[in-house]
């Protein structure tokens, strides 16, 4: 047995009791008469005391930072120690020695740039800040799932090797598939639409890939996409669902990750329901009024969103009713304004974290939408054929987990919140 207790479980109720703890050597202080070790495990940091007359003193003297150990000792109350207790060591089993010096300071006292952190990623992931990020992410994903389960959704899984581009774009990673050309999926979009035509309410949390040329703090080549599709609804129903998801997620993280938020020194945004909406057309007019050279049909990118945020001063808001031709072919036009679409982006300050729409559910409309965009309907026959068999009205959205995590942690780059990011420059570790 490597441990009997996690460090967070040690308290004054165990005073005088023998315990075995295990983890990594976080810091060592040799004061001559005693050696004080801060031991770190998944639950926190605790203090180990090694007396000079102890049989394990010589072992403790040779320990290195980040070595993995299992320690048997007696709990003693001491208000100066973490959790008000410390463990006086009787046995130290070194499970794995760490080389010294370390290429990265896990305690965080010596700061490292992002390239060093990503190169020495496992050590970086042991830092308390990154441990906090991983915990917050886990709680956020759990909350996402729980809200959808409560609303009658089922979790599904779609193919990640596909025959053609989901959205007709060029940002594709080709793969050789038994002598044929195939591609890594950019999105589960078309398959989740088909699944909504069978099971009505579906969601998926899975990787997606885009050969992204942009080298910014907000872009990755491989990312986790959180996708939802539901039948017999439109984009207004989907936005209401997103409000519930985000509200629950922020409050679940606030409740379950208070210590992690303290470590990150971050305060979560307040989520007010309903989340405010601004039309694309109104957003363009606001940006024009601030002197930006922008016109109807142009994208609203991060620089423009920064300006918009300074004007509307909302942490979370929807931009709705985007130009129809700027959205993917499956996006439904507005009946009263065919140049617009029933679509939305959810924005956190100046960062898009989700995008969705009502979908076309009539084959002829889809075929025309493809042609207008210069795409060949025959390339999408695997998708279109099912619209001959009663495909209901449906709507949905996709949300990027890494971008969402920037909202939940206060960090500035998606490369920080992804354990092993993939971008234009990185294929390892």
> Which pLDDT value is given to residue 213?
82
Of 181-185, 275-279, 344-348, 364-368, give the lowest mean pLDDT range: 181-185
Other Cβ atoms less than 10 A from the Cβ of 425: the count is: 11
CA dist list (Å): 15 to 1, 12, 86, 87, 327: 21, 5, 9, 9, 64
Q: Indicate whether 168 pLDDT > 70.
A: no
Q: Indicate whether 425 pLDDT > 80.
A: yes
At residue 90's C-alpha, the angle toward residues 85 and 95, to 5°, is: 100
> Which pLDDT value is given to residue 164?
74
Q: Indicate whether 412 pLDDT > 90.
A: yes
Of 54-58, 64-68, 319-323, give the lowest mean pLDDT range: 54-58
Burial of 410 (0-12, 13-18, 19+ CB in 10 A): middle
CB 403 within 8 A of CB 351: yes
Orientation of helix 235-256 relative to helix 401-409, angle to 10°: 50
Q: Indicate whether 82 pLDDT > 90.
A: no
For the CA atoms of 224, 406, 425, 209, the dihedral, rounded to the nearest 10 degrees, stands at 20
CB 26 within 8 A of CB 40: yes
* 369-372 LR contacts (CB < 8 Å, sep 24+): 369/329, 369/330, 369/331, 370/168, 370/329, 372/325, 372/329
Mean pLDDT to the nearest integer, 90-96: 97
Q: Indicate whether 170 pLDDT > 70.
A: no
Q: Indicate whether 47 pLDDT > 60.
A: yes
What is this structure's pTM?
Answer: 0.94
Q: What would the pLDDT profile of 117-139 be if each residue is shown by its tens digit?
A: 999 999 999 999 999 999 999 99
* Band of residue 1 on the pLDDT scale cut at 50, 70, 90: confident
Mean pLDDT to the nearest integer, 195-221: 93
CA dist list (Å): 125 to 134, 223, 420: 9, 18, 10
* Band of residue 383 on the pLDDT scale cut at 50, 70, 90: very high
> Which pLDDT value is given to residue 171?
82
At residue 402's C-alpha, the angle toward residues 24 and 280, to 5°, is: 160
Rounded to whole angstroms, how far apart are CA atoms 77 and 82?
Answer: 10
> Which pLDDT value is given to residue 133?
98
SS3 313: coil
Mean pLDDT of the chain: 95
Q: Indicate whether 85 pLDDT > 80.
A: yes
Rounded to whole angstroms, how far apart are CA atoms 110 and 38?
Answer: 17
Q: Indicate whether 169 pLDDT > 70.
A: no
Q: Which residue has the higher pLDDT, 159 or 165?
A: 159
Mean pLDDT to the nearest integer, 300-325: 96
> Which pLDDT value is given to residue 212?
81
Q: Indicate whether 166 pLDDT > 70.
A: no
Q: Indicate whether 201 pLDDT > 60.
A: yes
Rounded to whole angstroms, how far apart are CA atoms 352 and 366?
Answer: 26
Question: Is the Cα torsion angle 408, 139, 355, 312 positive or negative in sign?
Answer: negative
> Which pLDDT value is given to residue 81?
87
Q: Where are the alpha helices (DSSP H) in 257-353?
A: 258-264, 280-289, 302-312
Of 160-169, 254-263, 293-302, give the lowest mean pLDDT range: 160-169
SS3 7: helix
Residue 175, H or E segment: strand 174-177
List the beta bridge partners of residue 38: 27, 47
């Amino acid at each position: 047995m490597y441990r009997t207790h996690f460090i967070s479980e040690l308290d004054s109720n165990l005073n005088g009791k023998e315990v075995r703890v295990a983890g990594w050597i976080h810091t060592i202080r040799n004061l001559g008469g005693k050696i004080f070790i801060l031991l770190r495990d998944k639950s926190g940091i605790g203090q180990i005391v090694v007396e000079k007359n102890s049989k394990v003193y010589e072992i403790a003297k040779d320990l290195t930072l980040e070595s993995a150990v299992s320690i048997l000792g007696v709990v003693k109350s001491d208000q100066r120690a973490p959790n008000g207790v410390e463990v006086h060591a009787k046995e130290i089993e070194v499970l794995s020695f760490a080389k010294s010096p370390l290429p990265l300071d896990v305690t965080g006292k010596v700061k490292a740039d992002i390239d060093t952190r990503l190169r020495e990623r496992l050590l970086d992931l042991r830092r308390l800040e990154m441990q906090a990020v991983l915990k917050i992410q886990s709680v956020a994903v759990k909350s996402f799932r729980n809200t959808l389960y409560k609303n009658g959704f089922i979790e599904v899984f779609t193919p990640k090797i596909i025959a053609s581009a989901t959205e007709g774009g060029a940002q594709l990673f080709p793969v050789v598939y038994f002598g044929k050309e195939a591609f890594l999926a950019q999105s589960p979009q078309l398959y989740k639409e088909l699944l909504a035509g069978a099971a009505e309410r579906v969601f998926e949390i899975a990787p997606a890939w885009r050969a992204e040329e942009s080298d910014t703090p907000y872009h990755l080549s491989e990312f986790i996409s959180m996708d939802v599709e539901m039948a017999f609804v439109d984009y207004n129903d989907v936005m209401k669902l997103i409000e519930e998801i985000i509200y629950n997620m922020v409050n679940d993280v606030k409740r379950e990750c208070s210590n992690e938020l303290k470590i990150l020194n971050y305060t979560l945004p307040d989520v007010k329901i309903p989340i405010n909406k601004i039309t694309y057309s109104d957003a363009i007019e606001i940006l024009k009024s601030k002197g930006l050279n922008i016109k109807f049909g142009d994208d609203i990118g991060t620089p423009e969103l920064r300006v918009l945020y300074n004007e509307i001063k909302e942490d979370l808001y929807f931009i709705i009713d985007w130009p129809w031709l700027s959205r993917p072919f499956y996006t439904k036009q507005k009946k009263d304004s065919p140049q617009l679409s029933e679509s939305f982006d959810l924005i956190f300050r100046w960062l898009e974290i989700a995008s969705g729409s009502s979908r076309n559910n009539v084959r002829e409309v889809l075929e025309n939408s493809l042609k207008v965009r210069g795409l060949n309907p025959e390339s999408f026959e695997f998708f279109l054929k099912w619209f001959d068999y009663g495909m209901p009205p449906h709507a949905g959205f996709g949300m990027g987990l890494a971008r969402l995590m920037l909202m939940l942690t206060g960090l500035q780059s998606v490369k920080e919140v992804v354990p092993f990011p993939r971008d234009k420059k990185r294929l390892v570790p």
